[in-house]
């Protein structure tokens, strides 16, 4: 049995935050942001709008595209680093909203690799026959933990959600998934506070992302180069067998480096970072849904999905759509 993509969906909050607006907030420029990241604008969740709110819309669209009812889902996994509350998990909140019944529901926190990690878990459940129909969501309100005075991070991130319904099918779907982590790099991209460590009053009590961007950049390029090799080798495939690269949308320069390594033209690469910024766990499913709904990705084509994020975590999935 394979896990086959039956339908995808995505959702973005209405509020668009442009580079020009950021120019009025920190010492930056539209030109710098475009040149260094490829980002032109990003979306920001409205006040009171939560990760679960975004996830719900993406999930409803994915169910609709798959032609399935909530009762058909027998497992729900949500990749997120920005849950509504510590618990119940965002997956439990979402399960209740969607009326999924009493299926298993849990969150996966792997930062920007959250969707690939969740996809990998879903694939194992379907391959072993433990689940037949899995709803996998990547959803984030990352702007809630941004320091809007830190030009090194505030220009990068955005909010959104993406979802995919996977169904057990004898026809090929997910060919393989590969996940890795190296906690030794934890300090390069992190938050300093939390439940167990405590929330620091002098920092306003909030959770804030801090990043040593340049060092993250170098490790990301290297690591993504290795994971695409590993994925192709596991399937005894050549670079030329791939139809599409659907990468994590953190930085256009990182995406271009991976495409170059795969000798793929940018015409075969799905890019949404210009419009969405880095939406962490939502970035790959947002790009996937965009690619499918725009008609670029067709049934039967081979897609390579990859992501890299805080932890560090990284992963890839090779999929016949
Ligand atoms: N506007 C203008 N100047 C800026 C800005 C800004 N927004 N941000 C930084 N600069 C300055 C720096 O202060 C520095 O100035 P200096 O030379 O006077 O010291 C200069 O620009 C160069 O800074 P670098 O950090 O070396 O710039 P770089 O080319 O590396 O680009 C960036 C920075 C865009 C952050 C890049 O390093 C990057 O994309 N890193 C990877 C991000 C990533 O992939 N994260 C992983 C996933 S995120 C997650 O898991 C939650």
Closest ligand 1 atom, residue 155 Cα: 7
pLDDT at 203: 58
Q: 258 CB under 6 A from ligand 1?
A: no
Render pLDDT for 193-243 as a digit per residue (tens, 0 to 9).
Answer: 888 988 876 655 688 999 999 999 999 999 999 999 999 999 999 999 999
Tell me the CA–centroid distance for residue 114 and ligand 1, in Å.
Answer: 23
pLDDT at 294: 98
- Tokens 């790959």, residue located: 284
Alpha carbon 254 to its chain's center = 15
Closest ligand 1 atom, residue 313 Cα: 50
Q: How far apart are CA 235 and CA 212, in angstroms?
A: 35
Alpha carbon 318 to its chain's center = 15
For residues 143 and 49, the answer to whether their CB atoms sit within 8 Å is no
Domains in the chain, please, with CATH? 2-170 (3.40.47.10), 175-320 (3.40.47.10)
- Tokens 């993504």, residue located: 224
- Helix H or strand E encompassing 141: strand 133-141
pLDDT at 232: 97
Render pLDDT for 98-135 as a digit per residue (tens, 0 to 9).
Answer: 999 999 999 999 999 999 999 999 999 999 999 999 99
- Tokens 């391959």, residue located: 127
Q: 253 CB under 6 A from ligand 1?
A: no
Render pLDDT for 145-176 as a digit per residue (tens, 0 to 9).
Answer: 999 999 999 999 999 999 999 999 999 999 99
Pocket test for ligand 1, best of 40, 116, 146, 217 (most atoms within 8 A of CB): 217
The residues facing 15 across adjacent strands are: 44
Residue having the nearest C-alpha atom to atom 23 of ligand 1: 214
The answer, yes or no, to whether residue 192 has pLDDT greater than 90, is no
Query: Pick from 269, 272, 265: which is nearest to 249 by CA?
Result: 272
Question: What is the torsion angle, in degrees rounded to the nearest 10, for the CA atoms of residue 147, residue 151, residue 155 and residue 156?
Answer: -80
The residues facing 139 across adjacent strands are: 161
Average pLDDT over residues 167-188: 98
Active site residues: 112, 248, 278
Q: Kindly report the number of other CB atoms within 10 A of residue 213's CB atom.
A: 15
């Amino acid at each position: 049995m394979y896990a086959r993509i039956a339908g995808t969906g995505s959702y973005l909050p209405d509020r668009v935050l442009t580079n020009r607006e950021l120019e009025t907030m920190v010492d930056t420029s539209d030109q710098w942001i475009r040149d260094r990241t490829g980002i032109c604008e990003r979306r920001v969740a409205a006040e009171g709008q939560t990760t679960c709110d975004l996830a719900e819309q993406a999930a409803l669209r994915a169910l609709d595209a798959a032609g399935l009812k909530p009762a058909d889902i027998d497992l729900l996994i949500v990749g997120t680093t920005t849950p509504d509350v510590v618990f119940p998990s965002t997956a439990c909140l979402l399960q209740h909203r969607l009326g999924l019944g009493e299926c298993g529901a849990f969150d996966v926190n792997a930062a920007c690799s959250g969707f690939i990690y969740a996809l990998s878990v879903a694939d194992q459940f379907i391959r072993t026959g433990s689940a037949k129909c899995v709803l996998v969501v990547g959803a984030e309100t990352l702007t809630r933990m941004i320091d809007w005075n830190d030009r090194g991070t505030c220009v990068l991130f955005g909010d959104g959600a993406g979802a995919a319904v996977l169904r057990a099918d004898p026809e090929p779907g997910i060919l393989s998934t590969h996940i890795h982590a190296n906690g030794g790099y934890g300090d390069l991209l992190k938050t300093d506070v939390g439940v167990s460590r405590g929330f620091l009053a002098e920092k306003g009590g909030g959770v804030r992302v801090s990043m040593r961007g340049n060092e993250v950049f170098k490790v990301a390029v290297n690591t993504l180069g290795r994971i695409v090799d590993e994925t192709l080798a596991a399937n005894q495939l050549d670079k030329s067998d791939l139809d599409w690269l659907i990468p994590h949308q953190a930085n256009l320069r990182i995406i271009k480096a991976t495409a170059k390594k795969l000798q793929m033209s940018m015409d075969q690469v799905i890019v949404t970072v210009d419009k969405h910024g880095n939406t962490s766990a939502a970035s790959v499913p947002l790009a996937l849904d965009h690619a499918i709904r725009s008609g670029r990705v067709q049934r039967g084509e081979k897609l390579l999905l990859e992501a890299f994020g805080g932890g560090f975590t990284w992963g890839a999935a090779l999929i016949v759509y």
